[in-house]
Amino acid sequence: MQPVAWIPSPAQSVWHLGPLPIRAYALCIVLGIVVALTLTARRFQARGGRREEVWDIAGWAIVFGIIGGRLYHVVTDPELYFGAGRHPLDAVKIWDGGLGIWGAIALGAVGAWIGCRRKGVSLPVFADAAVPGVALAQAIGRWGNWFNNELYGGPTSLPWGLQIHCLDITVGHAQAGGVASGGERCPAGNAVLAAHYQPTFLYECLWDVGVALLLLYLDRRRRMGGGTAIALYVMAYTAGRGWIEALRTDHANHFLGLRLNDWTSIIVFLLATAVFVSRGGFAAQREPDPYRRRRDGAATVTEDEEHKEVAADGRPDQ
């Protein structure tokens, strides 16, 4: 029985400006980053920080986050890139999709730590200011999966079932009689699958928006600090990722009957809960100053300032 309505999907995900390919997946990632940085700059300034420092710190976090996200994806699904009939160089083609959120958060946090250290900024303060924007960036980035016709769930007769094209992401066009990202083959002469599928990309997008709004509301009411906002974000995101992951049918490695990302969500949720409780939970107070302080109360000297002082003294930078 066909549903009375459905969600359409694009038959094209790449456009060309002369020899330059413009990929929808990359545009969604970039738009998400811009939204996240704009919101983070406002929130960091409200905490007493300087807006321009957000862009410097974020540069480190973004580069490390993209590398981490790709590494997690490749390490957890190596059979997609290595072995008979595979092309290892495809492992670096992030524009074709495939960024693991856990790797992005882990190495992105390392990049943020480096950036914060260079600017003398407290990492927990910066992280608490950034997490609502991070959640919104994830929500926007999920529309890249919609353009790529990927990361959908099982067949459904619900009115919001998702139409799926057999899209070849290397060329960015739907292919009649081709194979969809979930492994289903389109009928001969047709580039669209006959069934409709659970739009898990949309579920996660809406969940991420809800997480961002929840964090903004609680932060305004509770003035959260000490890294509790980032812990709460991880708890809320993993809770949603768990049930959304159960709906997905795309390729994934399993362990003890669960998808690998399910196990990761469970472990990370428990760790985040421990951090949230140890930091004081909702009772944790926002720091009066976003900058790290020495024991004598003076602001720490940042690495940038230290380099400038060395240069002013005429001594070579070590």
By CB atoms closer than 10 A (0-12, 13-18, 19+), residue 32 is: buried
- DSSP assignment, residue 189? T
Residue 4 forms part of a structural domain: no
Residues 6+ apart with CB under 8 A from 249: 152, 153, 154, 182, 197
Which tokens in the block code for residue 86? 């595979």
Residue 185 forms part of a structural domain: no
- How many domains does the chain contain in total? 1
Res. 41 pLDDT band, cuts 50 70 90: very high
CA 184 to CA 178: how far, in whole Å?
A: 9
Which tokens in the block code for residue 271? 């760790």
Residue 12: name the closest of 166, 170, 173, 153 by CA.
173
CA 29 to CA 24: how far, in whole Å?
A: 9
- Residue 250 above 70 pLDDT? no
In this prediction, residue 256 carries a pLDDT of 66
Residue 299 forms part of a structural domain: yes
Which tokens in the block code for residue 114? 């480096």
Residue 213: name the closest of 102, 142, 133 by CA.
133
Which tokens in the block code for residue 281? 């939970």
Buried b (16+ CB within 10 A) or exposed e, 6-17: bbebbbebbeee
User: Taking all residues of the chain, what is their mean pLDDT, rounded to a whole number?
Assistant: 84
Res. 226 pLDDT band, cuts 50 70 90: confident
42-100 pLDDT per residue, tens: 999 999 999 999 999 999 999 998 888 888 778 777 777 777 767 777 777 766 666 77
Average of pLDDT values for 10-26? 90
CA 93 to CA 277: how far, in whole Å?
A: 40
Residue 173 forms part of a structural domain: no
Res. 170 pLDDT band, cuts 50 70 90: confident
Which tokens in the block code for residue 31? 């738009």
81 close to 128: Cβ distance less than 8 angstroms: no
289-302 pLDDT per residue, tens: 888 754 444 555 55
Residue 44 forms part of a structural domain: yes
Q: Which domain holds residue 292?
A: 14-162+193-303
Residue with tokens 């007769």: 157
Phi, psi of 117 (to 5 degrees): -65, -40
216 close to 43: Cβ distance less than 8 angstroms: no
Residue 113 forms part of a structural domain: yes
- Cross-strand pairs, 259: 254
| Greater model confidence, 28 or 98 | 28
In this prediction, residue 6 carries a pLDDT of 86
In this prediction, residue 96 carries a pLDDT of 62
Residue 79 forms part of a structural domain: yes
Residues 6+ apart with CB under 8 A from 315: none
Q: Within 13 Å and on the Cβ side, how many CA atoms surround 159? A: 2
Please, which contacts does 40-47 make with residues 24 or more away whose CB atoms are closer than 8 Å? 40/129, 40/130, 40/133, 43/129, 43/130, 43/132, 43/133, 44/125, 44/126, 44/129, 44/130, 44/290, 46/129, 47/125, 47/129, 47/286, 47/287, 47/290
Residue 103 forms part of a structural domain: yes
pTM of the model: 0.82
